[in-house]
Amino acid sequence: MDTNELYEHGRARFEHAAARRLLREKYQARLIFAHAGGMWQAGPQLISVLQACRCEEAVIEDLYATPVEIRVADLLALTHARWQEQMTAWLIEHRAINNQR
């Protein structure tokens, strides 16, 4: 390999890594949503907390450390739907980026 090929190879790897990082940031931001006066980030941690609640209503902390009273079933349904929707979209874009490599 000559130096130009090495340079192009290194540049392509850097651009691929940057594209993956930007894609992750994009979908992390899309996981945030408002409900019942609080801001939530859909993810395994919130889903686990909600599944552990055995009552209909609970008070839990939102993203900004504010206690919010919520209906557990409603927030769980929204969180799970948002999580699956965004993870599926992220996977599709991730595969497209990897195929471009």
Q: pLDDT per residue over 57-101, tens digit each?
A: 999 999 999 999 999 999 999 999 999 999 999 999 999 988 876
pLDDT band for 7, please (50, 70, 90 cuts). low
Task: From 82, 78, 88, 28, select the one nearest 50 (Cα to Cα).
Answer: 78
pLDDT computed for residue 10 by the predictor: 64
pTM: 0.82
Q: Indicate the domain borders of the chain.
A: 3-100
Task: From 4, 12, 75, select the one nearest 41 (Cα to Cα).
Answer: 75
Q: Which residues contact 63 (CB under 8 A, 6 or more apart)?
A: 32, 38, 39, 40, 41
pLDDT computed for residue 9 by the predictor: 66
